[in-house]
Chain A
Amino acid sequence: MNDLRAVPPILEVKGLSKRYVMNAGFWQQLTRRPPDLLHAVDDVSLRIAPGEIFGLVGESGSGKSTLGRCLLRLVEPTAGQVLFRGVDILQLPRAQMQGMRRKLQIIFQDPYSSLNPRMTVRQMLGEVLAVHRLCPPHRVEARVRELLHLVGLPADAVDRFPRHFSGGQRQRIGIARALAMEPEFIVADEPVSAVDVSIQAQVLNLLIDLKAQLGLTMLFIAHDLSVVQHISTRVGVMYMGKLVEMAPRRLLFSQPRHPYTQGLLLAAPQPDPFHHSTRVALEGEPPSPLHPPAGCRFHTRCPLASDRCRQAPPPLQEIGEGHWVACHHHDLAVWPPPAATPWAA
């Protein structure tokens, strides 16, 4: 995993942007006022090697989910490329894209809204198998049971409706539905943030098992660094649509270089009742994404902000082996911070 450039990536994102046009109402059109633009994802590039679990972390509104959905074209990006095994899927015509969807699947955040309330588990999984002719009709029943077994659900779950299951069980059904397509790449869009803490570990372990068993590659989206720490091989951190830091997991947790990443690590709760944080990790709210600050978008909250940060946006540059940071002052960002308990990597 250390030399990523040696392996051809299974998925490569180049300069991906998604802009939403806001306020394009009748009055705006009439007065010809330029509409407000919201940059949900702004010029993000990354490569994911086969077998990797790439953890993508950011606050809500940072564009991480939009990025994940762009990879499947559930949201059409405004600019950029998404290369899956060298093919730009954004250029594929509709018919070919439907074929490509077999290879790319998604697990959703909310297990309560991601399952059709009027379909039994058998109908849900059977529909996938039948529409894509993934197995002959007489094998469908057996394959459905196989999938349920794979995600650790009892065989008698087949005739139940989603309302009969707990959140964790529903999430397993969602995973089984994605696996029915026999995908090579899965976007896991905060798959554990809506389930009970006690169930989170079970679902995470299931995903790790499945990854090993089926040789999956995953983009794992989370708003919480501690979740990503367990599961990913590499981690990327997003802030207001920009990728601000990207590194192999150990490196990111032991030597974070971006002040925002450091702030996130400091903000994470410590399992130590006597621990008192000696300084406020991140101050203030992120500014409005409709009017992002000039220069570095983080400068309004950054302890190291200088005039340079207010004027020029820092490029994402490689400062070490596979360690990318977008910060003018990454060499000033000391870690561990003085007088604070170091984060245990």
Chain B
Amino acid sequence: MSEPSTAVVGRVNDWGLRWREARWLQQPALLVGGGLLLAMVLASLLAKQISPYDPIAQNLSNTLQPPGPVHWFGTDNFGRDIFTRVLHAVQLDLQIGVLSVLFPMVLGLFLGSLAGYLGGWVETVVMRVVDVFTAFPFLVMVIAIIAILGPGLTSMYVALTLAGWSAYARIARGEILVIKKAEYVQAARALGFSNLRIMFRHILPNIVTPAIIFAMSDIVLVILSTTSLSFLGLGVQPPTPEWGSMIAEGRPFIMTAWWLVTLPGMAIVLVGLGLSLLGDGLADVLRTEE
């Protein structure tokens, strides 16, 4: 038996492990994106301490004040402080973004993995359904489903799940078709492991990476589409502070009071930036792990 090169293996790998531990901290995109989102969440948790105003109570003697030292983002047509409303909306908007991506992701990964792993008629049925769902324009389908269920948060989640799962099913199936052929999956079969174990221990961990990376950019898109839904009056109902509905309510005043629309819009841009950076950073970290 030949002599294994212990020394070389040991040195390279100790270094490798240390590098691995520190890699999360070496991703500026990950740190900046995560920091940005964390700061926004913290600010919204401390909204009552940061700003003395009520996000909902109207003050009709103080409407349409421009941004200034008293009202940092100005006030809207009902005299509510816009900065306060933007802060209070962070949690709701992030919750909508995360949940409306999580539900379709779980559903899509499940159905797509099933299709890819089992093949045959299961694959045909699932993928043809995916084709049908992909053929509909996203917003048209969401609006139609909400119109059937009636406006509100729950029907918005249902609609976004039904409209969004097909992309994840495609990703999962594509990845599984590749990984199913990988010899380590064949090896797992040769080692007599059950289908469940092969699926959950050997295949799924190797396909979630692309799905997670896609999800990060998807959250941004979903927040944007929920804001357009609120804008259309189909999402979050007033007076609950939500960026989309704030923009919708400010639209008539865009020529005279720009801050009603622009500053909540800036909040959306910031969240989108944070999530994109987070997604990029995660992509680098998760991909180099392979």
- What is A's interface to B at a CB cutoff of 8 Å? 69, 72, 74, 98-99, 101-102, 104-106, 108-110, 113-118, 127-128, 131-132, 152-154, 156-157, 159-160, 163-165, 169, 174, 177, 181, 202, 205-206, 209
Contacts and interface: CB of A to CB of B under 8 A. Distances in A.
Interface in B43-61: none
B192 A117 contact: no
A114 B114 CA distance: 22
Interface of B: 1-4, 6, 9-10, 12-13, 16-17, 182-184, 186-193, 197, 201-202, 205-206, 289-290
A154 B187 contact: no
B187 A152 contact: no
Contact of B191 (A101, A154, A169): A101
Contacts of A165: 9
Given A152-B2, A206-B1, A164 B13 contact: yes
A209 B187 CA distance: 23
A164 B183 contact: no
Contacts of A209: 1
A216 to B, nearest CB: 15
B1 A154 contact: no
A174 B187 contact: yes
A21 to B, nearest CB: 13
A127 B16 CA distance: 24
By CB atoms of chain A within 10 A, which of B191, B205, B206 has the most? Answer: B191
Contacts of B201: 127
Contacts of A117: 184, 206, 289-290
Contacts of A104: 190
Given A101-B190, A101-B192, A131-B192, 13 more contacts: A108-B186, A115-B187, A117-B289, A117-B290, A128-B191, A131-B193, A131-B197, A154-B9, A156-B6, A156-B13, A159-B17, A165-B9, A206-B2
B187 A181 contact: no
Contacts of B9: 154, 156-157, 160, 164-165, 169
A181 B190 CA distance: 10
Contacts of A157: 9
Contacts of A98: 192
A117 B209 CA distance: 13
B23 to A, nearest CB: 13
B3 to A, nearest CB: 8
Given A113-B182, A206-B2, A108 B187 contact: yes
Contact of A163 (B183, B205, B290): B290
Given A164-B12, A164-B16, A106 B187 contact: yes
Contacts of B6: 154, 156
Contacts of A132: 192
A101 B194 CA distance: 12
Nearest to A132: B192
A144 B289 CA distance: 24
